[in-house]
Structure 1
Amino acid sequence: MSDAAVPLLQVPLHALHVELGARMVPFAGYAMPVQYPAGLMAEHNHTRAAAGLFDVSHMGQLRLVGPDAAAAFETLMPVDVIDLGVGKQRYGLLLNDEGGIIDDLMFVNRGHDIFVIVNGACKAGDMAHIQALIGSRCEVIPMPDQALFALQGPQAAAALQRLVPGVEKLVFMTGGAFNWQGTDLYITRSGYTGEDGFEISVPGDRAEPLARALLAQPEVRPIGLGARNSLRLEAGMCLYGNDIDTTTTPVEASLNWAIQKVRRTGGARAGGFPGAERVLGQLDGTVPLTRKRVGLIAQERVPVREHVELQNTSGRAIGQTTSGLLGPSANQPIAIGYVEPEYAAVGTPVVAMVRGKPVPMTVSAMPFVPNRYFRG
């Protein structure tokens, strides 16, 4: 059977998306809303100004349960899991034996379990990988019946606290259990847009009533995958499969900040994760880097998309872009890409070859638009 013949899975909000006029597209094996009638630009701008509701129920949710869960999970990633406080959230990276990124994920210490959210396209593989490597040390419990929403934007807290009082007390990268009309929710103050906002795990059979209640708030509009992509790119965040994959290490991807000190040097918990020799060697300079992820801004108003060759000013190929578009809020063409390390310094001029035409670009710091997380 060809891929085209495989029926797409449906998220719990499928009928609501259709009712709202969404254009549905295949994504990670699901039919997902790429945009609604207002269009990508209006959705992007509304999220930056007010609050946007994203259905991200295609993503994978799982629980790790047992007294050894944190120590076991820590063996899969170059990340501090053991010392993460109850109610605190962290960004993590599952690595293969070469230090390549199997997936990036978010996880929360909920006290009674570790709650993990992985990417939709990777979830089956991730769960099999986690089960195979640490399933003997803790219970690995998939949560296929849970839906997941992201409510993002500067007015997200005002809208959500009307329905779920107390949620406004959360700060960036923390989470808590809440209740809405008898439905148990788990909410974190986090997201993928660079804005303040929340991610809400809700039982699938209660997803539509909650979504309708959120959309009834004056600040909130539905937002599709198109604007989700433009928002995350302006925030300088990686898209798995584009900007990071199994051939990319965290250091090449400029994700050194995600590797806590306790996992880096000396000490009993340094290393001990897949690919540690290569990753730690790249960190301390004993293993040379051949490329580095950078932000790029075009000096002409020409969109530079993914898979565009990057050259130095002498015309030699030095890398390529992995994501790119005309940033609606940045109001200029922006991109993420990989270049040889000597071209990675902010301010370095490079040239993108867009359909044979040279477009001058400059290596830029990220994010391209200032983050507005609520840190209390």
Structure 2
Amino acid sequence: MSDEKPEHVLVHIIKNFTPSWFSVIMGTGILSILLQTFPFQFYGLPTIALVLYIINIVLFCTFTLITAARYLFFPYIFLLMMKNSTQSLFIGTYSMGLTTICNFTIIVITKKFDWGMNLAFALWIVTVIVTYFSCIVVPYYIIVHHNHELENMNGTWLLPFIPTVVTGASGGLLSNNIDEGRALVILIISYVTMGMGLFLATSIITIYWCRLIVHKLPPKEVIISSFLPLGPLGQGAYGMIQLGSAGKRIFGDKYITGLGDTAYGLGFLAALVLWGYGIWYLAVAVFSVIRTTVYDKIPFNMGWWSLTFPLGVYTAGTLAIGDVLHSMFFQVLGAIFTCCLVVLWLAVSALTIQGAITGKIFYAPCLTPIKDAVPT
């Protein structure tokens, strides 16, 4: 008969509260932004968007406190998590989730409150710090400590690098609205960060394409991650337009004649190219999930939130292109994508709540080998 005492529910939740939970913040945050910027507004929609924004802030603060408790009371878990080849990839979800709060603050709150811009600036600084941790420290562990094989590759390999694209795009939006003194520094950092993210992400996407050719579709447990390439491509499209717009305002003709207009024009053309690239991966992701569903049931896990944020940022890119071109086609397409996202968000949220109530969703792979034993 075992003398081991059953673990308290709260302790179990804290120990098994993985970074992937912040993907909930990402999905909810991008939906609030899309509802706020929906091209065909109707009465009450901005209010719904604001409610989602407030809910997202509450969730973010709650998740941050639980995460802090996890590593404060069980500090050994942090190193275990970093050495785990799956969970460490989700570190960047923290900054991406916070970025959605930052962007909504820029779009809405700064227009109503004087302190909104300083809040947005502070939030963006935090996202930059976490973003660089994700894209530099996590790859170090991938190279030195993890064991990866091409056959086991899936879209989650992109997660450490997507935050650089997201943060760069957010910096473009911020620099287009903040005072010129801070805007120039933000814009330069954002261009550098965006460049780092896009080239690293497209490198991973190329490897992913090779994996699909050689080893066919990923397993059913991670097939939803097929949507992740839409993240850097869609947010890259949105970000290049924001950076170009900010560049036109900040650069102008101050440093090089025509630099501002060039930044704006090249940013828009780059957005079109990235958006077109994303269309192909959207088609691949859709038929990958449909084919897997036909032959087998896809088990629910936190990875299902990979459906929401990538589609959300791709929709944001679609609407941004539509705004530049004043194109009804892109606006209608963006509206359709937004409606699809609402349905997906409701479905995934319901499954997440159900999993949280039953406790089945609180599972940390990094703790499985040691069965939560505290090291000596």
- What TM bracket, shorter-length normalisation? under 0.3
TM-score, normalising length: structure 1:
0.25
- RCO comparison, higher one (Cα < 8 Å, 6+): 2
- Superposition TM-score, scaled by structure 2 size: 0.25
Q: Could you say which structure has the higher strand fraction? A: 1
More helix by percentage: 2
